Amino acid sequence: MSSLLVMAWLVEARDPYTGGHLWRVSRYAELLAEAADLDDADIARISIGGFLHDLGKIGIPDAVLRKPAPLTDTEFETMRTHPEAGMRMLAGHPLATVVRPAILFHHERPDGDGYPRGLSGDAIPVDARIVGLCDAFDAMTSSRPYRAGIPVGAALERIRENLGAQFDKRLGTIFLELGAAGTLNHVAGHSDDGIPLRDCVMCGPTLVVRREDRAGGHLYCRNCGGEYALSSAASGDLQAEPTGRVGSAKQLVAEADSALIARLVQETSQRIPLPRLLEDVPA
């Protein structure tokens, strides 16, 4: 499981504007699965699937994955290959059946206009309906080079407008209730519990502070390479101040957040033992 999560994280590391995306989708999906009264095996499986849903983007060229502008129709067709590519990568892996629904079907839609299979309604596995909704919500509330993320309230309204079409009506209604209660606010714009994304002065919200980071350390923007010094704010949080320098090639090498991944694995195993999780995979 750890090796799979590291692979998924390395996909995220290629695109500086998706910092924390996998953690956020996994966390949103877990909250929604809990609110929908699913059992522990379902919740654990959906949480893992949320982290792994974009695994197939390993095969998407950087020119498409990191394009600082909207995709052309041809580029979008390339991007649409990532669900099936993710499943091909997992062929023969012992956990393939656990995460298959989230990886393969998270872009399907209740109205049948999704991909790659054009499934509709309840033919879409619940894992995919949850992860797909959470993925879309995070995309709407996250910034890209060509547009700023929209506020949580505006994203929730878009979900409301598309219930039964792009989003499952029952699950979407529960998600809206979570949003109205403020339950999603500690996840939106964060890369870990209690750790908001920091802004690069050149690129926007691309700086990911890790739980293990301390004052006196440095961060680097994965987009422009700018160096930031970490210091303690009056609130006790870490703040990032630009140094005016650019990181070296060694400093800019992406390293998987192994501590965050270890916590996710531990939380999953505490919720339900892995052998039980494998037994409870839906047909």
Q: List active site positions.
A: 57
CA 238 to CA 221: how far, in whole Å? 16
Q: Within a 10 A sphere around the Cβ of 187, how many other Cβ atoms?
A: 25
198 near 205, Cβ under 8 Å? yes
- Closest by CA to 69, choosing from 14, 150, 144, 138, is 144
Distance from the first to the final alpha carbon of the chain: 21
- Closest by CA to 53, choosing from 45, 65, 61, is 45
